[in-house]
């Protein structure tokens, strides 16, 4: 998400599934879309029917590859090198969409003279602190203006002070650890000035020239050595992309967790963003970057987060060392150009919806009731805390980490060390009965009677037994009506949490302890019906927000910082416009145009394609008749078109903001990225990305390959979780010579609780398997259809093996690389049972988002794995031979 957020200003998909049909070329990478999003894939097929070129870049030849015009096999985890190779092709052959690039991106911005890149510093960017493993980004900034105004001087002072503090490692460390960059889900990182621009793009320190130099080493030969992709294939892809971009044509990108699940995941998405900006494909029909999310409301659970580092609408959780008052909390962003500059209105309105009448101007609107962060509190750190006895109560709400999270054993060891655990689910999942069915019970590493965890399994209502909204992959909220009542003890989360809140508040009523004030003052009055179910629409109304008269607001531009408005999630403001549940709109598509604006509701402001100001040329006219979408109507003095303009609707294309203009007033007529503090798409991220202003290829933490691009082997900013239950395979090890990666199947869903329990789906996909190439099968003596054992330093699992040319043996220069593919859906419960591939995965995380790397190294051998305690001994033997030390479980400093 910060990949998109820092590039464009919002972390959501920039376009819709249906709009893919308007593309002239579609590049799918990091996703097996036909398999994992089959119904969405119909729009790729529509595009193909209309003549579009479909390209699939993936380690495996899959259902998606089978219907693509071109399949490009790639080594798992090497995507930055491939995409960087494409950027290099575009730049060194002058194939960028120059008019778009000059006007709408920061290509012309001049970067500080202190900036140095990985070409200068052996794979590092300037500002790296080896002690903390983190960057101080001050040298990445836009060159300060020669004559600063008072405000700019003030900002500059602050930045320097922060940099000095960062020199001690403290502040920067905290900020980065708190996954700060993720708060750019709807509001870009703040720059302190719009910066000097050289629109001839000739200045040696302008972004365009820096970009050219940075990507120059990503030659076709380098791409082949890193990715195993032949130069002619790279040229084919470059030709397809560039010939299908420009005024008349557009190219769309689609990705999924094949990009996000890496220790360099955010930068993979950044590379794609750079490429799409250079080609002029953002904000235009048939263009954009479509993030394919994998859960019904995973976009929604980020927008209205159950995430540690953000509050609804991507407002950052306050940090103890920076934010001890409302002013301090909003200061970095307030008043900056664009709509994010109104952050105070969004923040105050949220506090009003949380604490209602108790939130007043005098008490900072109860700002002090917000708990503060002091570092990384993400799920893997939490699990480490559980193992260390620091976290004792745990709610699992429709999530099954014993199967679904990386390093399942670590998860189960954490679960076994709790005081109490509440599991809310439909089926008896592996995370609920780990104390009697877990793999560690079989090996004897855990003993049921010794596990003190008290477990409450609270049965959940399913999707037809409650009303509510999901936000799907293109940021669209769709309402579900309730069909039937839940059976027996089953309850919705809405009912459970309203009830829990009520009980806690009743039990604490009368308390004079200051720590209980936030609970007792909470606006928590949710009426329930005769079945005990709260009214979900009333909650959606609260999320939408209300004005002083209590009536629903229709746009976040109406929000005020004086406490007269309340709003539970500012980017969702408008979903209840006119008192109507807009997410419940279901006007059939045959009664609407292709944009179908009256089906559901899309944040923000029902805009279907983001940044659509860029679908018009700088002068406001469509780039071409063929790609007409949103344009300036000079007569009416308004932006108009097929979609809600993602712009100030009456701001003329030639508008130049007054000096000192703030917030939305500072958006120029040619600044389509209205959430960015400079209005431009970021080819170079002067701030906001933890591991560098530009993407650079680093190897996964476990790799058989020495990084051919830089001397720096791994992402220097990666987060490691050093604990004996998370040992890492040494890179280049003969003991673990193969690469593995995990993926989904159409017939199963994530950890299988919703699919391995169903007879239909189990019949279609009855047991776990892995895929290997014929060359690897011959090397290890694996027979098609027989059992094999796959081993990492974490554990060993077994599966049937599919020997297939769908997995290609890749040649990287002199080295052959073999990959093992593993669908990850299995666990020990359900109708179809099996070992969990996620038990093999290590936890090493992207520094921006704390998401793990799903690529690792392994061994694979014929036959089933040992049973019971013999399994532990078997894995221990591997660790010993590979030189893995459990007492010092880092990734061994493979940086060379």
Partner 1 sequence: MEQFLGWPLVRQVLGRDKLGRGAAAMSQRSRTLEPRTVQADRVVDSVCPFCAVGCAQKVFVKDEKVVQIEGSAASPISRGRLCPKGSASKQLVTSSSRVTKVRYRRPHGTEWEDLDRETALDMIADRVIATRKQFWQWEDEEGRRTRRTLGIASLGGAALDNEENYLMKKLYTAMGAIQIENQARI
Residues 320-359 that bind partner 1 (CB under 8 A): 320-321, 324, 354
Interface with partner 1 includes 396 (CB under 8 A)?
yes
Q: State which of positions 371-390 bind partner 1 (CB under 8 A).
A: 371-374, 377-379, 381-382, 385-386, 390
Torsion of CA 307, 311, 313, 316, to 10 degrees: -100
Give me the 399-418 binding string for partner 1, x by CB under 8 A, dash otherwise.
x-x--xxx------------
Backbone angles phi, psi at 308, to 5 degrees: -75, -30
Q: Which residues contact 92 (CB under 8 A, 6 or more apart)?
A: 212, 216
Q: State which of positions 493-512 bind partner 1 (CB under 8 A).
A: 493-494, 496-501, 503-504, 507-508
Q: How many other CB atoms are there within 10 angstroms of residue 675's CB atom?
A: 27
**Shortest reach from residue 612's CB to partner 1, in Å:** 18
- CB of 69 or CB of 321, closer to partner 1: 321
Q: CA 611, CA 188: separation in Å to the nearest integer?
A: 13
Instruction: Locate all alpha helices (DSSP H) within 357-419, ordered by sequence.
Output: 379-387, 401-404, 408-415
Torsion of CA 865, 866, 870, 874, to 10 degrees: -40
**CA angle (537, 540, 541) in 5-degree steps:** 90
Interface with partner 1 includes 581 (CB under 8 A)?
no
Q: Which residues contact 146 (CB under 8 A, 6 or more apart)?
A: none
- CB of 532 or CB of 883, closer to partner 1: 532
Q: Which residues contact 344 (CB under 8 A, 6 or more apart)?
A: 326, 330, 334, 561
Contact with partner 1 (CB under 8 A): which of 17, 107, 110, 790?
Answer: 17
Contact status, residue 44 vs residue 500, Cβ threshold 8 Å: no
Residues that bind partner 1 (rule: CB under 8 A) add up to a total of: 168
- CB of 229 or CB of 455, closer to partner 1: 455
DSSP string for residues in 851-875: PBP--EEEEEEESPPPPTHHHHHHH
Q: CA 673, CA 270: separation in Å to the nearest integer?
A: 16
Question: Minimal CA–CA distance to 79: which of 289, 264, 256, 284?
Answer: 264
- CB of 583 or CB of 739, closer to partner 1: 583
Contact with partner 1 (CB under 8 A): which of 448, 636, 640, 722?
Answer: 448
**Shortest reach from residue 552's CB to partner 1, in Å:** 15
Q: Is 442 helix (H, G, I), strand (E, B) or coil?
A: helix
- CB of 447 or CB of 778, closer to partner 1: 447
Interface with partner 1 includes 137 (CB under 8 A)?
no
**Shortest reach from residue 376's CB to partner 1, in Å:** 10
- CB of 296 or CB of 577, closer to partner 1: 296
Helix (H) or strand (E) holding 65: helix 63-66
Interface with partner 1 includes 455 (CB under 8 A)?
yes
Interface with partner 1 includes 470 (CB under 8 A)?
yes
Interface with partner 1 includes 580 (CB under 8 A)?
no
Interface with partner 1 includes 168 (CB under 8 A)?
no
Contact with partner 1 (CB under 8 A): which of 161, 199, 388, 419?
Answer: 419
Interface with partner 1 includes 485 (CB under 8 A)?
yes
Interface with partner 1 includes 471 (CB under 8 A)?
yes
Q: State which of positions 274-303 bind partner 1 (CB under 8 A).
A: 292-303
What token pair was written down for 862?
Answer: 């014929």
- CB of 231 or CB of 563, closer to partner 1: 563
Q: CA 332, CA 349: separation in Å to the nearest integer?
A: 18
Interface with partner 1 includes 530 (CB under 8 A)?
no
**Shortest reach from residue 105's CB to partner 1, in Å:** 28
Interface with partner 1 includes 462 (CB under 8 A)?
yes
**Shortest reach from residue 877's CB to partner 1, in Å:** 30
- CB of 417 or CB of 894, closer to partner 1: 417
Q: CA 405, CA 403: separation in Å to the nearest integer?
A: 6
Contact with partner 1 (CB under 8 A): which of 473, 703, 713, 832?
Answer: 473
- CB of 208 or CB of 394, closer to partner 1: 394
Sign of CA pseudo-dihedral 376, 380, 386, 391:
positive
Q: State which of positions 854-893 bind partner 1 (CB under 8 A).
A: none
What is the chain's alpha carbon radius of gyration, rounded to the nearest angstrom? 27
Helix (H) or strand (E) holding 790: strand 787-791
DSSP string for residues in 520-555: HTS-----B-TTS-B-HHHHHHHHH-B-TTSPBPS-
Q: State which of positions 80-109 bind partner 1 (CB under 8 A).
A: none
Q: Is 148 helix (H, G, I), strand (E, B) or coil?
A: coil
**Shortest reach from residue 498's CB to partner 1, in Å:** 7
Residue that is written with structure tokens 């879309």 in the block: 33
**Shortest reach from residue 589's CB to partner 1, in Å:** 4
Contact with partner 1 (CB under 8 A): which of 224, 542, 646, 771?
Answer: 542
Q: Is 126 helix (H, G, I), strand (E, B) or coil?
A: coil
Q: Across-strand partners of 72?
A: 57
Interface with partner 1 includes 539 (CB under 8 A)?
yes
Interface with partner 1 includes 171 (CB under 8 A)?
no
State how far Cα 824 lies from the chain centre.
20
Contact with partner 1 (CB under 8 A): which of 49, 760, 814, 887?
Answer: 760
Interface with partner 1 includes 165 (CB under 8 A)?
no
Contact with partner 1 (CB under 8 A): which of 135, 215, 253, 435?
Answer: 435
**Shortest reach from residue 483's CB to partner 1, in Å:** 4
Q: How many other CB atoms are there within 10 angstroms of residue 152's CB atom?
A: 14
Q: Which stretch binds partner 1 (CB under 8 A): 21-29, 80-88, 476-484, 805-813?
A: 476-484
Interface with partner 1 includes 30 (CB under 8 A)?
no
Instruction: Locate all alpha helices (DSSP H) within 406-548, ordered by sequence.
Output: 408-415, 434-437, 439-443, 493-508, 517-520, 536-544
- CB of 680 or CB of 719, closer to partner 1: 719
**Shortest reach from residue 45's CB to partner 1, in Å:** 11
**Shortest reach from residue 825's CB to partner 1, in Å:** 11
Q: Which stretch binds partner 1 (CB under 8 A): 104-112, 142-150, 464-472, 773-781?
A: 464-472
Contact status, residue 69 vs residue 25, Cβ threshold 8 Å: no
- Give the number of residues written for the chain: 896
Interface with partner 1 includes 312 (CB under 8 A)?
yes
Sign of CA pseudo-dihedral 601, 603, 606, 608:
negative
Question: Minimal CA–CA distance to 139: which of 129, 150, 152, 154?
Answer: 129
Q: CA 609, CA 755: separation in Å to the nearest integer?
A: 33
Interface with partner 1 includes 459 (CB under 8 A)?
yes
Q: Is 617 helix (H, G, I), strand (E, B) or coil?
A: coil
Residue that is written with structure tokens 């892809």 in the block: 237
Contact with partner 1 (CB under 8 A): which of 311, 796, 801, 810?
Answer: 311
Interface with partner 1 includes 589 (CB under 8 A)?
yes
Interface with partner 1 includes 758 (CB under 8 A)?
yes
Contact with partner 1 (CB under 8 A): which of 113, 130, 515, 893?
Answer: 515
């Amino acid at each position: 998400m910060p990949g998109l957020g820092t590039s464009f200003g919002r972390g959501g998909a920039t376009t819709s599934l249906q709009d893919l049909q308007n593309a002239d070329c579609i590049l799918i990478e990091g996703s097996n879309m036909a398999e994992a999003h089959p119904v969405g894939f119909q729009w790729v097929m529509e595009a193909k029917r209309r003549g579009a070129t479909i390209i699939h870049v993936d380690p495996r030849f899959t259902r998606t590859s089978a219907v693509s015009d071109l399949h490009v096999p790639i080594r798992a985890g090497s995507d930055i090198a491939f995409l960087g190779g494409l950027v290099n092709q575009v730049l060194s052959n002058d194939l960028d969409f120059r008019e778009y690039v000059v006007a709408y991106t920061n290509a012309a911005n001049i970067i500080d003279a202190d900036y140095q890149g990985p070409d200068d510093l052996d794979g590092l960017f300037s500002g790296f602190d080896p002690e903390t493993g983190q960057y101080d980004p001050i040298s990445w900034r836009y060159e300060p203006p020669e004559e600063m105004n008072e405000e700019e001087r003030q900002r500059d002072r602050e930045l320097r002070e922060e940099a000095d503090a960062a020199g001690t490692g403290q502040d920067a460390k905290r900020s980065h650890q708190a996954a700060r960059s993720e708060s750019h889900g709807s509001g870009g990182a703040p720059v302190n000035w719009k910066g000097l621009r050289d629109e001839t793009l000739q200045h040696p320190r302008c972004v365009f020239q820096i970009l050219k130099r940075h990507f120059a080493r990503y030659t076709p030969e380098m791409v082949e050595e890193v990715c195993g992709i032949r130069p002619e294939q790279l040229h084919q892809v470059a030709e397809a992309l560039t010939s299908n971009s420009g005024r008349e044509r557009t190219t769309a990108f689609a990705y999924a967790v094949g990009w996000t699940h890496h220790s360099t995941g955010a930068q993979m998405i950044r590379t794609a963003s750079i490429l799409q900006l250079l080609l002029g494909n953002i904000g235009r029909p048939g263009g954009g970057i479509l993030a394919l999310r994998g859960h019904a409301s995973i976009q929604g659970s980020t927008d209205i987060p159950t995430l540690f580092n953000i509050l609804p609408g991507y407002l950052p959780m306050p940090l103890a060392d920076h934010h001890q008052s409302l002013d301090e909390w909003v200061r970095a962003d307030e008043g900056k150009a664009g709509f994010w500059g109104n952050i105070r209105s969004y923040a105050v309105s949220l506090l009003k919806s949380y604490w209602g009448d108790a939130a007043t101007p005098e008490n900072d609107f109860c700002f002090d009731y917000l708990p503060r962060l002091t570092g990384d509190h993400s799920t893997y750190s939490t699990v480490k805390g559980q193992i260390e006895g620091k976290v004792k109560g745990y709610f699992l709400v429709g999530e099954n980490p014993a199967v679904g999270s990386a390093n399942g054993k670590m998860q189960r060891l954490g679960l076994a060390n709790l005081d109490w655990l509440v599991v809310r689910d439909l089926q008896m999942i592996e995370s609920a009965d780990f104390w009697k069915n877990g793999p560690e019970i079989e090996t004897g590493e855990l003993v049921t009677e010794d596990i003190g965890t008290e477990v409450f399994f609270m049965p959940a209502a399913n999707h037809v037994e409650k009303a509510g909204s999901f936000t799907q992959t293109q940021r669209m909220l769709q309402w579900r009506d309730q069909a039937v009542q839940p059976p027996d003890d089953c309850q919705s989360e809405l009912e459970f949490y309203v009830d829990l809140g009520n009980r806690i508040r009743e039990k604490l009523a009368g308390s004079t302890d200051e720590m209980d004030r936030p609970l007792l003052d909470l606006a928590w009055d949710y009426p329930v019906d005769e079945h005990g179910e709260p009214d979900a629409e009333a909650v959606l109304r609260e999320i939408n927000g209300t004005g002083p008269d209590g009536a629903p607001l229709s746009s976040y531009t109406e929000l005020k910082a004086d406490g007269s408005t309340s709003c539970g999630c500012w980017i969702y403001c408008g979903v209840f416009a006119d008192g109507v549940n807009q997410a419940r709109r279901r006007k059939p598509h045959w009664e609407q145009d292709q944009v179908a604006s009256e089906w559901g509701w899309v944040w923000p402001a029902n805009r279907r394609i983001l940044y659509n100001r860029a679908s018009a040329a700088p002068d406001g006219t469509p780039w071409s008749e063929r790609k007409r979408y949103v344009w300036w109507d000079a007569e009416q003095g308004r932006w108009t078109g097929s979609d809600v303009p993602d712009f100030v609707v009456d701001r003329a294309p030639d508008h130049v903001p007054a000096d000192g203009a703030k917030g939305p007033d500072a958006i120029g007529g040619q600044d389509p990225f209205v959430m960015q503090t400079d209005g431009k798409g970021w080819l170079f991220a002067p701030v906001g990305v933890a591991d560098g202003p530009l993407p650079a290829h680093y190897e996964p933490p476990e790799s058989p390959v020495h990084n051919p691009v830089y001397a720096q082997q791994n992402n220097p900013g990666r987060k490691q979780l050093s604990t004996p239950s998370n040992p890492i395979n040494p890179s280049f090890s003969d003991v673990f010579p193969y690469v593995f990666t995990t993926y989904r199947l159409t017939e199963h869903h994530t950890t299988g609780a919703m699919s391995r329990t169903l007879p239909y789906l189990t019949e279609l996909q009855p047991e776990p398997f892995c895929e290997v190439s014929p060359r690897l099968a011959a090397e290890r003596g694996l027979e098609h259809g027989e059992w094999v054992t796959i081993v990492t330093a974490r554990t060993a699992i077994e599966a049937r093996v599919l020997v297939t040319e769908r997995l290609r043996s890749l040649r990287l220069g002199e080295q052959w690389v073999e990959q093992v593919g593993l669908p990850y859906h299995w666990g020990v419960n359900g109708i179809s049972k099996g070992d969990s591939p996620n038990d093999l995965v290590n936890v090493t995380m992207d520094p921006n988002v704390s998401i793990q790397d799903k690529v690792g190294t392994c061994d694979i051998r014929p036959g089933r794995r040992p049973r019971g305690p013999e399994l532990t001994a078997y894995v221990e033997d591997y660790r010993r031979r590979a030189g893995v030390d459990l007492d010092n479980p880092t990734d061994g400093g493979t940086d060379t």
